[in-house]
Structure 1
Amino acid sequence: MRRVPEFKSDKEAEEFLETDLSDPDFSQFQPVKFAIGHKTAQISLHVPEPLLDAVELRAKARGISNERYIRELMERDVARTSSGSIQADPVSACEQVRELPAEGRGRAR
């Protein structure tokens, strides 16, 4: 099996897709999550500088922005089972949270 190369341009990728794809080793690929849904709310956080430094390092190591890294952390936490009441993917979990009374959401809306 041949390894799938890294592409430097869309043209290279297109040319590769035009070749025989019966023997490449696709096991090198890893799942990717795409940001789905419009981001209409904005927050501002005051955090200790060492915490922000650590977040920046982790985000940089993953090749993503600080904001995306923090959003992923939030999505993962919200999607986790919370005493059996909230689980599933982040979008579904957010919908479930919206259905909670305002006092159950941590702030009034």
Structure 2
Amino acid sequence: MSKLKKTPEFKTESEERAFWETHDSSDYLDWSQAKPASFPKLKPSTKTISLRLPETLLDRIKIEANKRDMPYQSLIKAWLADDVDESRRA
């Protein structure tokens, strides 16, 4: 195997991101030595938003969530994720 290049020092995360977008990591890392990693407690970042809904719509969503034995906000998130995924496939 050829000699690996030294990974440069980066001042910022955006500088590092720009570097890796234009460079092949196999010039800097021996991927044959890589080991699988597991991050079981890693959770995606969330952001709180305010969403105005007609009361009747919210009531209907809560009824549907209750039928499925899940929190109504979780049901809304699931529906939104499904719809976005479906739109990407279209």
Question: Normalization by structure 2: what TM-score?
Answer: 0.48
Bigger fraction of residues in helix: 2
Question: Normalization by structure 1: what TM-score?
Answer: 0.40
User: Highest CA radius of gyration, 1 or 2?
Assistant: 2
Structure with the greater relative contact order (CA < 8 A, sep ≥ 6): 1 or 2?
2
